[in-house]
Structures are given as C-alpha cells and as structure tokens.
Amino acid sequence: MEDATSSKLPSMTPKIESSYPKKRLKRTKQANKPSTKGKEKELDPDYVEWNWQKLTDSSLSDVPPIFSTNGNYLFTLVGPSIKISSTTTGELLSTLTAPNISESPASDLTCMALNPDNAFQLIVGSRSGHISIWDYIEAILLRTIELSQPIHRLVSHPTLHDAVFVSVSKSRKGKQSDDSYAVLRVSLVPVSPAPDKSFPSPSEIVAVGKSKLPTGLALSHNGAWLVATAGHKIYVANTSSLEKGFVKYVSPEKLTCLSFHPLEEYFATGDTKGVVRLWYCLNEQIETQMKAVGVEKKTQTSALHWHSHAVSAVSFSSDGAHLFSGGEEAVLVIWQLQTGRKEFIPRVGAPIKTISTTQLEDGEEVLLGLADATNLFVKTSTLKVVRSFSNVKIVYRGNSRSSLEPPLAYHHLTSTLVFPSSHPSSLQIFSLLSRKVIAELEVAPTNRVSRRDEKPLEPPYVERVAISDCGAWMVTIDTRVGDAAFRAEAFMKFWQWDQRTTSWSLNTRIDRPHGLQKILALEFSPGGLGEPLQLVSTGDDNLVRTWRVRSSKEKAGPVQGIASLNLRSETPVHASWSRDGSILGVVYSSNIVLYDSQSCSIKATLSSSASVMPLALHFVGQRYIVAHGDKWVEFWDILSRSILWKRRILSPIHRVLPHLHEDSFVVMHEAKDGTMTHITRFGSTSHDPTSYHSLPFGLRNVITPASPVLSSEFSLTAITNNWSVAVFGDIVQTQPSDGINRRNISAHSLPSSRSLFRDIFGQSDVSNISGPSQLSRSELSSTHLSLSDVFHGPTYLMPPLETFFEPLVLGSIHKAPVQTLSAKAAVESEEEEVTNVSDISAGPLTKNIPTVSEVEFTNCVELFAQHTIKVTPSQPQAQTNGRTISKVNGARASPKVNGNLKAPKPSPALPQQLLSPSPSPEPGQATGKKRKQVP
C-alpha cells in the first residue's frame, strides 16, 4: 500500500529536524511575532459571518404545550422561539422569534398563555423579564412589556381585563434564596419607556405575595381564586382582594405540579412521593383564615396514590370527570373521580413530563410530552394512542458528563447524521433530506426506571462514534462508571449496515479495549467498499491499538486486533490516517510519530519547535501535516520532514479541520463566553490566513461530512453549545431552522385532517389546488364551469356526483316550446293488425314536433292500459285434462270454463280511472291482433 510519499520516508527513525536554517528561522520568528497591528486585525470584527443554518433544536422544554381554541394548532417553547405545529399532522407551520434576541439561556421563553380577549393572540414570558404579545396568525409581534425581573410562570383569565398573573424572581444576579420569588398582577397596558429602557413598562403592578421557587400557578375556572405551589406549601389568594395576600397550606411532601378543575372550585397537585392530592380549601372559611397572617394551615384533601416516583404532571379532562397523571414510570394513569377507579396506558415509551388536553371535533384527546421530546396523542374515548410526533432530542445537558464532547458522525449512504439521543445510552439517526429523526439505536440496553428509595442507576454513556468511508461499518464506545453494586464497564462495538433492512445491526463487541481508561481517539482508515479497512484507537493506558475489519465470510471473524503500539510510556493523545491510508500519524506527549499502516513500523518522527506539546494532527492533501497546540499551528512537509510555516493564535484553539480534497484547513477558536466562534482559513503556501469567518454560537463537536463531489468549498456540521445541530460553510444556503420562520398561517393554511389516501401514499402535490371540489352545490349551479373544468382535479378529490349533476345536465338540455297544430283523428279497427310504426327522425327536438288532441290522448291512454299492462300469474302453468295450455302467438291462453275462455280479472293495483272506461274483451278473443281460438 506504499505510495510515492511513504516510499521516500526512511523505515527507521530519522534525524529530527526541529527548525529551519538559522537565517530563515530568525525571519520566521520575526514574521510570526504578534504585533500590535496584527492584534488589531484579529481582534477587530473583520470576520465575515459564515453561511449557517440550524437543522434542529433540542426540542426539550418543561413548559406544557398549549392548544389553540379550535384545537388546530399546538404551541411549544424551544429556547427563545415559539414553535407552531399542526395538531393533526405534527408539521411545523411557523416559528416565532423576537428580533434581536440572542440564543443565550437568559433569553429563553419560560411560560405562555392564550390571550383571553383575543383567541388569535399569544402572551409569552421570558427569563429576560419581557412579556410579549404575538398575533400568531399573521406572525406579528404586537408589543413587548419589560418587567426587569425573570418571569417563571404566567396565567391569564377573561375576568382580568388586560392583565396577567406572573411569578418572578427578585434578582437576576447571584444565587437566589428560597424566598426571592414573588407573584405579581401585571397590566398589559404599556406606558412610555424610560430613557434607559428599550421597551415600555406596565402601567400597573400589584404585588400579591412572596413564595419559593414556583412549581405551579393557576386560576380557578371563574377567575375568583389564584393558587401557586412551591416547596411544601400552597399559596391561595382571592383575586377580588389581593391586598390581603396569600393563605398558606402545608403539604406533607414537596409539590411538583398543579392543575385546576375546569368546572368546580378545587384543584389537584402531585408530589415527589407519587401522591396525587385533591384540595378542597376554596370555601367560606378561607376568608376568616386570611386574618391570621403568616400562619400555615391544613385543610381537607383526598389522596390518590399509585405512582412510585414523583408525579411530573396532572391535568383534568374537559368535563372534569377524569384526572390524568404521569411521571417517571412512563405510565398514564386515568382517575375516575366519582368512583375512585383508575385505568392505565402503560409503556408510553419514555417518562411523562407534561400533560395537556384539548377538545376536537371527534372527541377529547390528551397530549403527553415525553422526556425524549416525543408528543403522544391519546384518545380518551378509546384510551388508545392515535398518533405521535418525534422530535430531535439531545439531553447531555444537566448530567454528570455534559462537559464531554458529544459523539457525532455522518453516514453518506443514507445522508444521515448520528448523534446522542434523549438517553445517554442511545443514538438517534437524523435524515438530512427529510429533516426528521428516522430511527433510534440503543447502543447499551439499560433499565431506565429505578426504585424510588434506591439511588438512581448510573446509565451507560456513548462517548464516541465513527463511521467508515464506505458506510458499511460503524464503531461505538460506551462506558459506565462503577459503584458498590456494579463494576465499571467499557465496550467497543462494531455495527454493520444492513442494506436490506436499512438499519444497523451489532456484529462484534470487544470488552475493555483499553481497560477502563478513557479512549482519546477513534478513527477508520479511508477506503471504499471492498477495500481493506482498519481502525485505530488510543487511550489513557498509553497504547495505540489497530484493528482490522474484514468480510464476515472469513472464518477468523470480521474484527481482529493487529497491533498494540507503545512509545516510551507516553500518552497518545490523538491519531489520524493519511489520505490513502498508508500512514498512521500519532501525537505523543513530546513529538509526532508516523507509522506504516501494514507493518506498524515507525517511518518518521517529527518534533515540534513549540515548547508546549501538540494536541492533534491532521493530514492535508497528499504530502502535508498540520499539527496544533493550545495557541499555535505548525504546517509540515512530510517529504522533507520540515516545518514550512508556523503561526500563533491569540485565543485557544478549539478544533482544526482539513479540507477533504484541497490543500487547506480551518482553525476554530471560541470567544471566552462561548457565544461566538471565529474561524480562520489557511492554505499550504503561506502562514497568512486566506479568509476570516465567524459564527454566532459556540461549538461542542464538529465534523466534515464526506462528499463525493470534488469541491474547493468547505461544508461542516456541528453540535452547538445549546445542543442544536447546525451546518455552516461556503455552500450552505442561509435560511431559518426547519425552513420556516414567522410565516403567516391564516385560514387558507389551516391543517387538513388525515385521509386514507394520505396515510397510504403520503402528501399529494395537488391537494392544495382549489377547484370545483371546493364549491358547494349552490355555487356549482351558479357558476359557469365547462365540462373540462369539472374533471380537472384527480379522481380522489372529485366531489360526489349529486353536487354537479343538476348543473351539468340542465346546462345541456333546453326546454321545448309549446306549439298548437291541427288534430288528426285516426281510429284503427281492433280487427286489423297494427303493423306500421312511424319513424322518428333524429333531428332537433324543437322542430316538427307533432301534437295530439285531448281525445287522441285519452284513447292512447286507454289503449296503453288495455293492451300493455298485464298481470303476471304467480301460479305455475295451468293444465286442462292433464294437458298444458299452449301459447298463441307467444301469449298464454286463458283456461276454459264450461267450454268458454275465462277473461282475466283486472289487477287490484291498477288505477280505476284507467280500467273502468275500457270494455271487457269478448270471450274467445285475444287483445291486439286477431287471435285463433283454442280448439
């Protein structure tokens, strides 16, 4: 596998060349010495913002989603934005984000409520202390009011008249105490802003009382009572006498959630011990209890206990007959309040975080917000899950390993990204084409629910993931920290791509590949499908291990360890392959070593001129290597084993990434607060950057997705500091997340209900075409549509025939005019045979239309009744003296009575006015033509 590059390298350790010749080194030092002018250039905001686009959000919010009044729209809070989705399809319709809002946690939205005075407006509170009112139909920010205090809860009611109740914290700086929260009544009518403020202040603020960190804030159905829950206490206030403050009630356990009954004056709470409690304290006695200020009281309650863990959410049904509760057990409990019975919907897939209810046309539905960012809809009439919508979920934040670099990889066969899921032991597969999560891979099966009284189980974490260039293999590293009950674990797992099932299947597991030490690097060698494939891993055990991945048809197994390399017990901090896979470069504590990939022998040793050890290396093009430390970059020529140039970077380097096809690379370094990333691009010919770029967010991990297209442009994918997935580079089209931002969702864009055709074949390209199928019967009759216009649409969108039958037929038939002509009487003898029939011409109906007189019309009716209307006998064919009565001219003869033929009796069903004028035929005669008598 050696090429021209590796053949020129000596097989033994070469003489180390650590610097240029003295004259050149002196000039290089002077050139690289940071001057004041150079500092100004790098510190000056000359960085051009690179094209970028957010693909996903973390989509995890503890704020319960709410529905529009008609149930068509679902509102959720994600960071500083409001996501508006279709309740029926789950499709994102619009994203509302206030202008000039940063993505820092201080700008996150924390609460929302529909405006009771206008059903098409949304009231939103934020951690920055602002109350915003949105027209979500037109996507217009109507006004913003500044409170200057972080807002945590918000409720509204029609009786408040342009006011809301909010729960705020007193200070935004420093650690907040337990009693640093308060409940306020805030007017939504603004006043002129102060000179030092950008937004107006509310015209009136009424303080209700102090509280601890609120876990719930709600108003009764008639707006008479305000209830807040915090810690072990319940705070109750009468909205008509807010000056009296709160009446406090004590709960035996710490409260977690709150919900008011929709029709009666009592409420439900959940606590950390799994008890759902109904409180009946809103009565006449509370007026007397308000006089005893500062005294904590107890009241009558009813306890409903099934949960073994903390109750995360409670909610009443719209009729108040049922109460829904959920928690960590991933079970929805339905309590029948009249009988005390309960029903269950188990195994919903993840712990329940929020519960919301809505009344739709076909009945009530319950929306479960799960911990894995899945929205689950349950039909209350059948207690069955009717639909679910999964979102991207990355929940490394908040756990013990949130500071680790999250795994990230790209699979080019399916154009999918692989990154952490809602549980640290799983990976989710995100399609770049559909912008949706298409699968979830459980790398390390684990029990996700522990006993209430026991210490929570430490879950395994997927620390690293790598996918081969051919796309056939993926390797993961998952570890779990040991404790007194479980030993520590570390596994390297090889997954093979199944083209038939389009999924990853576990092929090989290697226990403790580097003992229990941390794995520092993991990378596949380049190569297409069918070519030899190797994997390199380095760890804190001071070993470099190489693994050969072979075809599964070989008897020795698909994965085989090749070698374990060690250099003077130094720690290999990073490893990388050359473009052709013939050289393996490893960064040790003091120098860089190049190994032959087949024999694992040392080809060359490169010593850095910097006093600080290198952190990583990357191969650039066919003959260059770029190595970097904390604040410096060196560019090496492999053939001459010399440094071509070196440059110091003013801020710490976060990552260096080479171009896949060109001799260039980019250096990334973040701002101190982690809110911005500066990117500098370098070429192979000079230490001067070729371009400067910036991004308005920090990066946790970034990769260069493999692309078969040879391009000189950069295209990168990263997980940002706020756990979103973003793409950026030269060829990225700048557009908002999900392609939708503040879009008008007026009546013409209302979501349509699902149909059988859509479930089978997907969304139709012509389903939004307005045509005759949208017109009513009256509209069809009054519009002048041609026959071709009616049938323009597809068959399954055509209206019923009765909707356009009358307009279509009446439009093609013209009424005949009434004309009076001379009557011509013609009386034919009954003895004569009728043989002549007048031919009717096929001409127009309005010409040569003969008319008949009244006498002729009467005779015609009598003739019709006499000769054509006959009674069909239901009895079998009659017999006379054992002989069957024969037919005469196709007509059955009547039986004889005393030697004569019996005339048939008229049917009683025939109208008398048609039968009475006609004389009865003579015996022995047949009607119509002359008949021969039966012998």
Dihedral angle, C-alpha 110, 116, 117, 121, nearest 10 °: 40
Q: Check whether 760 has a pLDDT greater than 60.
A: no
| 361 φ/ψ angles, rounded to the nearest 5 degrees | -65, -35
Strands 332-336 and 342-345: antiparallel
Q: Check residue 12 and give its pLDDT.
A: 34
Residues 6+ apart with CB under 8 A from 687: 31, 32, 635, 645, 646, 647
Query: For position 440, what pLDDT does the model report?
Result: 87
Pairing of β 48-49 and β 691-695? parallel
Q: What is the 3-state secondary structure (H, E, C) of 641-658?
A: CEEEEEEECCCCEEEEEE
Please give the structure tokens belonging to residue 369. Answer: 């917000």
- Convert the pLDDT of each residue in 791-845 to its tens digit: 554 554 555 666 666 666 666 666 666 554 444 444 444 444 444 433 433 444 3
Could you tell me which residue, 448 or 922, shows the higher pLDDT? 448
C-alpha closest to that of 146 among 127, 121, 160? 127
Provide the pLDDT for residue 558: 81
Instruction: Over range 559-579, report the average pLDDT.
Output: 89
Query: What average pLDDT does the segment 441-449 reach?
Result: 82
The per-residue b/e assignment along 405-428, b for 16 or more CB within 10 angstroms, e otherwise, is ebbbbbbeebebbbbbbbbbbbbb
* Spatial distance between the Cα atoms of 610 and 633, rounded to a whole number of angstroms: 9
Q: Which residues pair with 891 in a beta bridge?
A: 888
Q: Is 326 helix (H, G, I), strand (E, B) or coil?
A: strand
- Higher-confidence residue: 9 or 565? 565
Report the alpha-carbon distance of residue 364 to residue 374 in Å, rounded: 19
**In the prediction, which pLDDT does 3 show?**
40
The single-letter code of the amino acid at 152 is H
Average pLDDT (681-685) is: 91
Which of 394-403, 511-520, 540-549 has the least mean pLDDT? 394-403
3-state secondary structure of 28: helix
3-class DSSP assignment, residue 852: coil
Nearest to 22 by CA among 593, 591, 609: 609
Mean pLDDT of 915-928: 43
* Average pLDDT of the chain to the nearest whole number: 76
- Reported in sequence order, the residue ranges of 553-590 that DSSP labels E, i.e. its strands, are 559-565, 574-577, 583-587
Counting every residue written for the chain, the total comes to 935
Q: Which tens digit of pLDDT belongs to each residue from 129-178?
A: 999 999 998 889 999 999 889 999 999 999 988 899 999 997 655 455 55
- Do the beta carbons of residue 569 and residue 542 sit within 8 Å? yes
The amino acid sitting at 444 is A
Can you give the pLDDT at residue 931?
Answer: 47
Q: Is the pLDDT of residue 881 over 60?
A: no
Higher-confidence residue of 877 and 800: namely: 800
Place 18 in a pLDDT band, splitting at 50, 70 and 90.
very low
pLDDT value at 587 more than 60: yes
Q: DSSP label at 747?
A: G
- Concatenated DSSP letters of 511-542: E-EEEESPEEEEEEPP--TTS-EEEEEEETTS
Query: 875 falls in which pLDDT band (50, 70, 90)?
Result: very low
Share of the chain above pLDDT 90, in %: 37
H/E element holding 395?
A: none
User: Which tops the pLDDT comparison, 507 or 39?
Assistant: 507
pTM (predicted TM-score) = 0.68
Q: Looking at this protein, which amino acid is placed at residue 307? A: H
Q: Is 158 helix (H, G, I), strand (E, B) or coil?
A: helix
Q: Which helix (H) or strand (E) holds 492?
A: strand 489-498
Within 659-731, strands assigned E span 664-670, 677-683, 691-695, 699-703, 715-720, 725-729
Can you give the pLDDT at residue 874?
Answer: 47
Most confident of 43-47, 294-298, 791-795: 294-298
Distance CA 533, CA 549 (A): 5
The SS3 assignment for 705 reads coil
Torsion of CA 867, 869, 872, 873, to 10 degrees: -60
CA distance 617 to 625: 7
Between 109-118, 307-316, 537-546, 610-619, the lowest mean confidence (pLDDT) is in: 610-619
| pLDDT band at residue 331 using 50, 70 and 90 as cut-offs | very high
Interatomic CA distance for residues 525 and 1, integer angstroms = 12
Sequence-distant (6+) residues with CB within 8 A of 157 are 116, 219, 223
How high is the pLDDT of residue 61?
74
Which is more confidently placed, 674 or 311? 311
Contact between residue 193 and residue 148 where contact means Cβ atoms under 8 Å apart: no
Q: Are 371 and 327 in contact (CB under 8 A)?
A: no
pLDDT value of position 573: 93
For every residue of 591-629, DSSP letters joined together read EEEEEETTT--EEEEEE-SSSSPP-EEEEETTTEEEEE-
Q: What percent of the chain has pLDDT over 70?
A: 68
Locus of tokens 């789950």 = 90
| Between residues 380 and 921, the one the model is more confident about | 380
pLDDT at position 374 is 85
Which is higher by pLDDT, 546 or 840?
A: 546
